[in-house]
Amino acid sequence: MSARPAISALVRGARHPRRTGRTAPGGPAVIPTEALVVGTIAPLRKDARYDVWVDVAHAVCDAHPTVHFVAIGAGPLDSEVRGRIRRTGHHRRIHVVAPDDRPRHDRRGFDLYLQVGTGGSTDPILDALAAGIPVISAATAPARELVRHNGEGLLVAPGDRAAFVSVIESLLDDPDRRARLGRAARSRAATARP
| pLDDT tens-place values along the chain, 194 residues long | 333 443 333 333 333 444 444 333 334 557 888 889 999 988 999 999 999 999 999 999 999 999 999 998 899 999 999 999 999 999 989 999 887 643 444 455 789 999 999 877 888 899 899 989 999 999 999 999 999 999 999 999 999 999 999 999 999 999 999 999 999 999 998 887 65
Number of domains forming the structure of the chain: 1
Residue 3 lies in a domain: no
Q: How far apart are CA 184 and CA 147, in angstroms?
A: 10
Residues 24/18, Cβ–Cβ less than 8 Å: yes
- The residue ranges of DSSP E strands in the chain, in sequence order, are 10-11, 14-15, 36-41, 67-72, 94-97, 112-115, 135-138, 153-156
pLDDT at 29: 59
- The torsion defined by the Cα of 84, 116, 4 and 179, in degrees rounded to 10, comes to 150
147, β-bridge pairs: none
137, β-bridge pairs: 115, 155
pLDDT at 6: 38
Sign of CA dihedral 83, 84, 89, 92: negative
Residue 87 lies in a domain: yes
pLDDT, tens digit (0-9, with 9 covering 90-100), for 5-58: 433 333 333 334 444 443 333 345 578 888 899 999 889 999 999 999 999 999
Can you give the CATH number for the domain in which 69 is found? 3.40.50.2000
Residue 151 lies in a domain: yes
Residue 72 lies in a domain: yes
Residues 15/44, Cβ–Cβ less than 8 Å: no
Residue 112 lies in a domain: yes
Residue 89 lies in a domain: yes
Please give the residue range of the domain that contains residue 36: 10-192
Residue 5 lies in a domain: no
Residue 4 lies in a domain: no
138, β-bridge pairs: 156
pLDDT at 190: 84
Q: How far apart are CA 123 and CA 12, in angstroms?
A: 12
pLDDT at 33: 81
